[in-house]
Amino acid sequence: MSEPLLHLALRVEQDIFLVRQRGREVAAAVGLEHQDQVRIATALSEVARELLRGADGADVTFALAWDAVGRRVLQVDLSPLRPLPGGRYEPQSGAVARLVDTLRVVAVEGDSVVRMSRRVPDHAEELTPERAGRLRAELAERAPGSALDELAAQNSQLIAALDEVRSQRDELEVLNSELQETNQGVMALYNQLTEELEETNRGVVALYAELEEKSAQLRAASESKSRFLANVSHELRAPVTAIIGLARLLADSASDPLTGEQARQVGLIRSSAGDLLGLVNELLDLAKAESGRIEPEWSEVDLRAVFGQLRGTLRALTTRSEVELVVEEPPAPATLRSDEVLLAQVLRNLLHNGLKFTERGEVRLRAERRGEQWMLLVTDTGVGIPPELHERVFEEFYQVPGTTRVGGTGLGLPYARRLVTLLGGTLELRSETGRGSTFTVLLPAGGA
């Protein structure tokens, strides 16, 4: 729906100025801003000139209409006197279409009409029927200006446009200057960040180099310690074994009889030498494990045979009647791929450790199959270990402080964990003070 405001006839060159002038007046009347008035007037003059030459003129109608989304637009229909070629219209200058919101050919009552429109600002006064009537009357009564007047108006508009272009150019120069300063600041910041990043990278490289050096030193120190332990163990084993042999000869019934005090002292010598030999052997085993000289011999291991051997050999160590050693039969099929000797040594160390620190109750060994893993658990009812010391007990030569003092070197648990690692598993501890301890060995059923 549209509200016609003015009709004009385009027949001669003089009418082009009239269409332009009237177009600007109608645009001002309906509330278009000054720049939009100039734009639609310029577009009208260009289209009118082309239709006058190509279609012998046109009938021009100005109206207030509404677009597809309900917004008010100033609509101008130019109905050519002769049909347009192919029913289409393309302005010679592509800039004409950019001066208005829409420029297209539409069919009105079977005829092709060139229609252009420009949106009316939302803040423009509403065009009521009464106001539309007044505008039509004013436009009809207003005397058209001459071509000279329209030319003067165009010149005035051109000067205003030039002033605006000059103002925009000045603003653009200011913006370019500010942009250059900003770019310089950005480049300076970029250079600064680049220098800081390069400096940081140099520091990181230096840190990595220092870490590599420290790692090499630590590896060298560890190798030196392992060699020292191995050498000392070898050097001590011979004299300690000799001391044990001499003490055995002294206590032999075939030798000269000893007094009671002499027999007691010889027994102390044998016992101390035996403890020292045990320490030497543990040091040698630990040195072998640390140096990587222990290679597991993989085979199918029957846990029932390993558990039976441990049950028989360790039962003799249970010297306290208040402590019971329980070795449960593992569930069938109780086989896994491992090193039988190393596995038995790990479990023997854990059971022996539990028997030493348990005064009453039991030490229990049991096995559970968990998917593709075997879980071997050694549980005791001994004194327990505080949570903050759970990892320290796996350090070499460390023993949990407490009132209960038992023999030991503090090497059994570190050695057991190293062997479990060689077998592709883990050794973990769960314990509380006064509630005993549980050592859990997790091993893959198929081997490492």
Q: Which residue has the tokens 């360790």?
A: 314
Q: What is the pLDDT of residue 402?
A: 60
Q: What is the pLDDT of residue 403?
A: 43
Query: Residue 369 has what DSSP assignment?
Result: E
Q: What is the pLDDT of residue 318?
A: 64
**22/140 Cα distance (integer angstroms):** 10
**303/63 Cα distance (integer angstroms):** 101
DSSP string, 4-73: EEEEEEE-SHHHHHHHHHHHHHHHHHHT--HHHHHHHHHHHHHHHHHHHHHHS-EEEEEEEEE-TTS-EE
Q: State the amino acid at position 159 in one-letter form.
A: I
Question: Which of helix, strand or coil describes residue 122?
Answer: coil
pLDDT in tens, the chain (448 residues): 467 888 999 999 888 888 898 898 889 888 999 889 989 999 999 999 999 998 999 999 999 898 888 899 999 999 999 988 888 888 888 888 899 999 999 988 888 999 999 999 988 888 777 877 887 777 766 655 555 555 655 566 666 666 776 888 888 888 888 888 888 888 888 889 888 888 888 888 888 888 888 888 887 776 666 666 656 655 665 676 777 776 676 666 666 677 777 777 777 786 676 666 666 666 655 665 555 567 788 889 889 898 888 888 787 666 667 888 888 898 888 888 888 888 888 898 888 888 888 888 888 999 988 888 899 999 998 888 888 888 877 776 666 666 444 555 567 788 888 888 888 899 998 988 888 899 999 998 776 5
As given in the structure block, the two tokens for residue 102 are 């829409």
Q: What is the pLDDT of residue 76?
A: 94
Question: Which of helix, strand or coil describes residue 160?
Answer: helix
Q: State the amino acid at position 36 in one-letter form.
A: D
Q: How many CB atoms lie within 10 A of CB 386?
A: 13
Cis peptide before 85 (omega within 30 of 0): no
As given in the structure block, the two tokens for residue 282 are 């543990």
Q: What is the pLDDT of residue 341?
A: 86
**418/423 Cα distance (integer angstroms):** 9
Look at the chain and count its residues: 448
Query: Residue 398 has what DSSP assignment?
Result: -
As given in the structure block, the two tokens for residue 178 are 């500010």
Q: How far is CA 428 from CA 67, 329, 339, 376, 431, in A?
A: 79, 22, 20, 11, 10
Note whether 59 and 71 are within 8 A (CB). no
**23/120 Cα distance (integer angstroms):** 14
Question: Which of helix, strand or coil describes residue 113?
Answer: strand
Q: Which residues contact residue 391 at a Cβ distance below 8 angstroms, ignoring those fewer than 6 apart?
A: none
Q: What is the pLDDT of residue 80?
A: 93
Q: What is the pLDDT of residue 439?
A: 92
